[in-house]
Amino acid sequence: MTRAIGIDIGGTGIKGAIVDLDAGELVSDRIKHPTPEGGEPEAIIETVAQLVDELGTDGVAHIGVCFPAIVRNGRTMSAANVSERWIGLDADTLFGAALGRDIHFVNDADAAGYAEAVSGAARDQQGLVIMTTLGTGIGSAFIYDGVLIPNTELGHLELGGDDAEHWAANSAREREGLTFAQWAERLTRYYRHVEFLFSPDLFVIGGGVSKQHDEFLHMIDVETPIVPAALRNNAGIMGAAALAARHAR
């Protein structure tokens, strides 16, 4: 059994668990702490170290951490709902020093997409899988034949003179009081554009609203097969853990 810890840092909460990478499942309770107010690097690193200490590292081979930012060579190149001090920060080194071991740092949507490809809705899917997370914004992940292509940021595709996530994310549905049918019209426009640009073999739809996929998924009119994410709130944890193991090979 290969075990790894996955940590998923969000704007409001930080959660983690021990993952059995062979079985593709959590083998510990999922622990969650509030994200420190202001999202400063030192406070978040301290919270992650506390969470890892609570989980324990006996028998753990790897630690992976995912975060809502563009991540390039271990550096966070953007910041969403956290301090702007994260921009340009060598997060991989800082977390590794705090935890006393090498870690792997990755974008949160990329981690979730990779988990769905390894253990979830896109398992054994050949070709290009595009996962999008519909929440405050739109996160995205490209997986091609099991290989992650990182930092795609499809929420920032410009359509109609504005970032698509400003009018197609779940936050826009809630803010404007859209029905699911009205929202599905916007999502159809968005996914048709993505489909035209990249010709994917499968769309996987994640984010908290995917629990309500029966309300809207069937109304998104695209040619590409489109399915809900299977791993729900554990996807980031599982993907961060799995990518840490793959990166260490």
Residue ranges and CATH numbers for the domains of the chain are: 3-110+234-248 (3.30.420.40), 121-230 (3.30.420.40)
Task: Kindly indicate the confidence band of residue 225, based on its pLDDT and cuts at 50, 70 and 90.
Answer: very high
> What mean pLDDT do residues 89-116 have?
95
pLDDT of residue 39: 92
Spatial separation of the C-alpha atoms in residues 30 and 15, rounded to whole Å: 7
pLDDT of residue 12: 85
Cα-to-chain-centroid distance, residue 27: 20
Task: Kindly indicate the confidence band of residue 118, based on its pLDDT and cuts at 50, 70 and 90.
Answer: very high
> What mean pLDDT do residues 128-151 have?
95
Task: Kindly indicate the confidence band of residue 248, based on its pLDDT and cuts at 50, 70 and 90.
Answer: confident
pLDDT of residue 249: 65
pLDDT of residue 60: 95
DSSP 233: G
Compute the radius of gyration of the chain from its Cα atoms: 17
Q: What phi and psi, each to the nearest 5 degrees, are found at residue 156?
A: -100, 10
Task: Kindly indicate the confidence band of residue 233, based on its pLDDT and cuts at 50, 70 and 90.
Answer: confident
Task: Kindly indicate the confidence band of residue 80, based on its pLDDT and cuts at 50, 70 and 90.
Answer: confident
Spatial separation of the C-alpha atoms in residues 119 and 38, rounded to whole Å: 34
> CA–CA distance from 212 to each of 86, 192, 203, 209 (Å)?
33, 21, 16, 5
State both tokens at 150.
């990182």
- pTM confidence score: 0.92
